[in-house]
């Protein structure tokens, strides 16, 4: 705790960088995965392809991806863009399969009722399917957000900033307090982001008030 207090400004800077490297890929992953997942939910063959591709992408170790991407994309190994792209790939891999799963959770009778009262396909998707699928999707989104926050720490091994620096510096200096501080701050960030997404999900689904997370 003393280390956290004495080095608050430095740790706060690491935390800001850490959040940027974790949340930007999450937003990019959302922008790619939601439309791709929605399309995959409509075509069985496309769903099989996206599921297989996502599984393969997610099995690649993050450190290996940090090493593979720079020569392929002509960027520096220690360029933050390296981490952003790698985590965007992981985010898409997790979210693109979550979208069809979330849409599958919408009761068939609800969809039939929407069709019966004359909803067009687009209106049904936007006003019935997506809103009702939101709780399942947000649950998956929370997992991806926390996973990204954890994975950013690996970036310190290739020289990219973030709270992972506290781990590498603490190890090099044989200073456990620095490592423990890094663990605590990463945990706090993960809990805050997870809770924030939970609250946003609840605000977006007021009809679920009273149900557990």
Q: What are the chain's domains? A: 2-208 (1.10.3720.10)
Please work out, in degrees rounded to the nearest 5, the angle formed at the alpha carbon of residue 180 by the alpha carbons of 174 and 183.
Answer: 125
pTM to 2 decimals? 0.89
Compute how many other C-beta atoms are within 10 angstroms of the C-beta atom of residue 107. 9
CA 9 to chain centre: 27
Looking at residue 2, its pLDDT comes to 81
Buried/exposed code over 128-158 (b: 16+ C-beta within 10 A; e: otherwise): bbbebbbbbbbbbbbebbbbbbbbbbbbbeb
pLDDT tens-place string over residues 46-58: 999 999 999 999 8
Judged by average pLDDT, the poorest of 61-70, 134-143, 185-194 is 61-70
Q: Write out pLDDT tens, residues 8-33.
A: 899 999 999 999 999 999 999 999 99
């Amino acid at each position: 705790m003393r280390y956290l207090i004495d080095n608050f400004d430095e740790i706060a800077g690491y935390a800001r960088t850490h959040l940027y490297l974790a949340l930007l890929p999450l937003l990019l992953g959302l922008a790619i995965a939601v439309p791709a997942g929605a399309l995959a939910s409509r075509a069985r063959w496309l769903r099989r392809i996206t599921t297989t591709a996502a599984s393969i992408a997610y099995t690649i170790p993050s450190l290996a991806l940090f090493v593979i991407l720079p020569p392929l994309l002509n960027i520096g190994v220690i360029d933050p863009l390296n981490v952003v792209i790698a985590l965007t790939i992981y985010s898409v891999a997790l979210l693109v399969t979550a979208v069809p799963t979330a849409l599958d959770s919408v009761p068939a009778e609800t969809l039939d009722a929407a069709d019966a009262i004359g909803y067009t396909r687009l209106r049904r998707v936007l006003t019935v399917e997506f809103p009702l699928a939101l709780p399942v999707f947000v649950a998956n989104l929370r997992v991806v957000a926390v996973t990204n926050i954890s994975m950013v720490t690996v970036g310190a091994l290739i020289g990219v900033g973030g709270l992972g620096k506290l781990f590498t510096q603490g190890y090099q200096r044989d200073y456990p307090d620095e490592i423990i501080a890094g663990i605590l701050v990463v945990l706090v960030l993960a809990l805050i982001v997870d809770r924030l997404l939970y609250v946003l999900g609840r605000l977006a689904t007021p009809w679920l008030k009273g149900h557990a997370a």
